[in-house]
Amino acid sequence: MGNYLERLKNKLKIKKLDSNQPIKAWLFVIFLNLIGFSGFFYLKINNIHLNN
């Protein structure tokens, strides 16, 4: 049981970001997610349904 908890703790540990990661690509993905969520909330606030 102790070994399981140790492995789980190692998997959940936040690792340092790699400096080789493309920062602009991550910013683009976050920006698209923000646009998607804002569109979702806009549709909900204005009571617009996209289903048939």
Kindly state whether residue 35 falls inside one of the protein's structural domains: yes
CB 19 within 8 A of CB 26: no
pLDDT, averaged across the chain: 87
Residue 32's pLDDT is 97
pLDDT tens per residue across span 40-50: 999 999 998 88
pLDDT classification of 35: cutoffs 50, 70, 90: very high
Percent of the chain whose pLDDT exceeds 90: 40
* Count of domains forming the chain: 1
Tokens of 31: 């920006």
Kindly state whether residue 48 falls inside one of the protein's structural domains: yes
Residue 52's pLDDT is 61
Predicted TM-score (pTM) above 0.85: no
Distance CA 39, CA 45 (A): 10
Kindly state whether residue 42 falls inside one of the protein's structural domains: yes
Domain that holds residue 47: 21-52
